[in-house]
Amino acid sequence: MNSIIALCALLASLSHSEPLLKPQNVQLMDVEITVKNIRSNKGKISIGFFKDQLSFDKEKPFKSVPCLKQSVSNGILKVKIQLEPGIYGASLLDDENDNGKMDYNVLGIPKEGFGFSNYYHTGFSKPKMQAFQFEVKAGQIPKIEMAIRYL
């Protein structure tokens, strides 16, 4: 009886996750990202990719890319990644102290830089993913700009 319950729980959890095997014919496409306004060479930049508003709200990217700052020149870093065709949104953290999270001051204001794909956020609340979405499709190389904002 316990093994049947465990099997049902496992099957239920698998139905809400990404498929274990992806089709062989899905082609990954290059995406060129230019990060601007980097103020220091300390730490690293982490870019998270989201497929929908819910994953963005929960801060659970389906793909995260850490970027070392060794090749930063004049506050600019160029990165190339690969994604399947689809619609995405990307956000970044300039994790200057390299602790893997955004740090805030006592008022809840970010102490480190952040940015979004093709969108410079000037508000104080989190933007909607629709504001920074981009599309990856066959035959095109998207060029994404992410300007970092520091408060």
Q: What are 44-87's pLDDT values in tens digits?
A: 999 999 999 999 999 999 999 999 999 999 999 999 999 999 99
Q: How many residues comprise the chain? A: 151
CB 72, CB 34: distance < 8 Å? no
What's the CA gap between 54 and 58, in Å, rounded? 6
Pairing of strands 143-147, 86-95: unpaired
pTM for the full predicted model: 0.81
Q: What are 105-147's pLDDT values in tens digits?
A: 999 999 999 999 999 999 888 999 999 999 999 989 999 999 9
